[in-house]
């Protein structure tokens, strides 16, 4: 056999091998899981539209709907590509077709997916696409937040490293009691006589769960760690009475139902598997039902370190959504049985009184919730000897101006508008002066409430006593008598 013939045979074999590899690749491509996900998504859209057909009366509307159904039936799976403003290409929506845009301020064509989630944006294989994801798919987890929410090389600085301290939410959060559980650590040790006076044992960025011997090896230490220090917003902690892990920033800013199951349009997410928000969306409009997934679930017994769920917890978990609830529902469900509250505390949502700096930190480490409080009753209602502090908005760099634009239900804030300011200096963009009177706009739905003032009323308060407990002495509205109490 001549040398030329041998070369031709080898070349032929090489061509055959290449053809086989191409055929295998094409066959693999044609039966890839991403195609199955897209087909499943198409079918879901068809089923939804077919369900609407019986509710439509007009013939023209029916024809239009039938045409839309036909278009979905004729769709073929194709690789989806998002070309970002920086030139990068992402293919995440090839599988996650129909997933909700995370928020208006995080547009997918500018931010994309991997800037927040991490992972491999070009891969169409689930395993390799998800490698290196921040927080295992939950980028809001506290140990991942600096990479995701804080910003990275793909998008630059976001919520960390900015000139204005108020814009560095990730940095400030490291000092918040909600993130560190420093209050539980410090005050419980104080009540057991381990620290007199109470003191913070944490540094910014640490959590109470990181302390090796938080109770000085007392017999209760195990329960203290598990039942008090490793729950709620901390990564890995289980929410009270639920087999669901908390996920840092997501615990508040991604709304969830009581089952923590997904209700959106991304067919890759199982509808029955817990551990997800209602949809793939961030929000600052946080209703009390979200807060109640950690708070007002029951009480902790300091003497035994046990958690005792409230007896009506099943009903509370079944609370109607904000657009379907009544004031009676709020009276029954907001607070644990036996507690008292003023009408404004239950008419409004938690976020309407607990300010941004109070819940997300201000750079200081506090040993108790009381020390961290930013707002007092007189900040809105004044006292018998003084009016609340007024603040006129005159600059677009003003914190109130920026924050008012984030929430879509607030009336537009204009230059020269007068708002309230707390004694600790935080601006309340939702508390506005209109025609000489004060009004508050609920952050969840924009509902407007008149703010009565102490001066000129019959209130006999001590101006130096401004806690909610002080006001409850006269203005109590308990669960057993919702129609009683002061305004």
Count how many Cα atoms sit within 13 Å of the Cα of residue 330 in the half-sphere of its side chain. 21
d(CA 347, CA 335): 12
The answer as to whether 337 is a domain residue is yes
Is the model more confident about 140 or about 318?
A: 140
The answer as to whether 90 is a domain residue is no
Q: How many domains does the chain have?
A: 1
pLDDT at 486: 40
Label the pairing between strands 298-301 and 306-309.
antiparallel
The answer as to whether 438 is a domain residue is yes
The answer as to whether 258 is a domain residue is no
Give residue-wise pLDDT tens across range 57-87. 889 999 999 999 999 999 999 999 999 988 8
Q: Are the C-beta atoms of residues 60 and 283 closer than 8 Å to each other?
A: no
Q: Are the C-beta atoms of residues 145 and 170 closer than 8 Å to each other?
A: yes
Give residue-wise pLDDT tens across range 430-478. 999 999 999 999 999 999 999 999 998 988 889 888 888 888 888 876 6
Q: Are the C-beta atoms of residues 262 and 269 closer than 8 Å to each other?
A: yes
Name 298's bridge partners.
309
Nearest to 262 by CA among 326, 250, 135, 127: 250
Q: Which residue has the tokens 């991604």?
A: 254
- Helices (H), ranges, 407-467: none
Cα 168 to chain center, whole Å? Answer: 17
Residue 27: pLDDT band (50, 70, 90) is: very low
The answer as to whether 406 is a domain residue is yes
Give residue-wise pLDDT tens across range 85-118. 888 999 999 999 999 999 998 999 889 999 999 9
Q: Are the C-beta atoms of residues 183 and 369 closer than 8 Å to each other?
A: yes
The answer as to whether 106 is a domain residue is no
Q: Residue 389 in 3-state DSSP?
A: strand
The answer as to whether 425 is a domain residue is yes
pLDDT at 478: 60
Residue 374: pLDDT band (50, 70, 90) is: confident
Q: Which residue has the tokens 């709620």?
A: 232
Q: Are the C-beta atoms of residues 91 and 81 closer than 8 Å to each other?
A: yes
pTM of the model: 0.86
The answer as to whether 332 is a domain residue is yes
d(CA 147, CA 136): 13
Structure tokens at 54: 């019986």
Q: Alpha carbon of 211 to those of 164, 215, 247, 261, 308: distances in Å?
A: 32, 9, 20, 33, 25
Work out the percent of the chain whose per-residue pLDDT is above 70. 89
- By residue range, what is the domain housing residue 468? 311-358+374-487
């Amino acid at each position: 056999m001549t040398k030329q013939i041998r070369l031709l045979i080898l070349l032929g074999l090489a061509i055959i091998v290449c053809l086989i590899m191409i055929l295998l690749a094409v066959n693999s491509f044609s039966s890839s899981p991403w195609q199955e996900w897209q087909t499943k998504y198409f079918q879901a859209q068809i089923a939804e539209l077919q369900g609407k057909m019986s509710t439509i009366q007009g013939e023209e509307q029916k024809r239009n709907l039938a045409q839309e159904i036909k278009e979905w039936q004729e769709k073929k799976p194709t690789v989806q590509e998002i070309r970002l403003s920086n030139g990068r290409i992402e293919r995440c929506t090839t599988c996650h077709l129909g997933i909700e845009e995370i928020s208006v301020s995080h547009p997918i064509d500018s931010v994309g997916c991997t800037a927040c989630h991490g992972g491999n944006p070009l891969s169409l294989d689930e395993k390799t696409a998800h490698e290196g994801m921040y927080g295992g798919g939950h980028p809001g987890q506290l140990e991942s937040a600096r990479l995701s929410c804080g910003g990275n090389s793909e998008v630059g600085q976001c919520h960390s490293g900015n000139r204005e301290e108020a814009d560095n939410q990730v940095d400030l959060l490291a000092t918040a009691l909600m993130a560190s559980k420093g209050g539980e650590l410090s005050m419980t040790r104080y009540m057991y006589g381990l620290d007199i006076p109470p003191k913070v044992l944490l540094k910014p960025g640490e959590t109470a769960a990181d302390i090796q011997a938080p109770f000085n090896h007392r017999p209760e230490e195990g329960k203290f760690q598990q039942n008090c220090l490793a729950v709620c917003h901390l990564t890995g902690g289980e929410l009270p009475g639920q087999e669901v892990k908390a996920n840092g920033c997501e615990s508040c800013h991604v709304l969830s139902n009581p089952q923590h199951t997904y209700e959106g349009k991304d067919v890759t997410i199982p509808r029955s598997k817990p551990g997800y928000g209602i949809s793939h969306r961030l929000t600052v409009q946080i209703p009390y039902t979200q807060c109640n997934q950690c708070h007002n679930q029951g009480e902790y017994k300091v003497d035994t370190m046990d958690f005792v769920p409230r007896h009506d917890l099943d009903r509370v978990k079944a609370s109607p959504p904000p657009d379907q609830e009544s004031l009676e529902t709020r009276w029954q469900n907001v607070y644990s049985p036996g507690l008292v509250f003023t009408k404004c505390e239950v008419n409004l949502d938690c976020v309407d009184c607990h300010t941004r700096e109070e819940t997300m930190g201000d750079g200081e480490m506090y040993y108790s919730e009381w020390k961290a409080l930013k707002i007092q009753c007189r900040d809105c209602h004044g006292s018998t000897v003084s009016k609340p502090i007024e603040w006129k908005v005159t600059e677009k760099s003003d914190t109130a101006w920026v924050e008012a634009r984030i929430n879509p239900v607030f009336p537009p804030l204009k230059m020269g508008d007068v708002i309230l300011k707390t004694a600790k200096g935080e601006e309340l963009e939702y508390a506005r002066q209109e025609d000489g009177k004060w009004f508050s706009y609920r952050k969840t739905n924009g509902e407007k409430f008149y703010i009565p003032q102490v001066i000129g009323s019959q209130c006999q308060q001590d101006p130096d006593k401004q806690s909610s407990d002080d006001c409850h002495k006269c203005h109590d509205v308990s669960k057993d008598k919702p129609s009683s109490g002061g305004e």
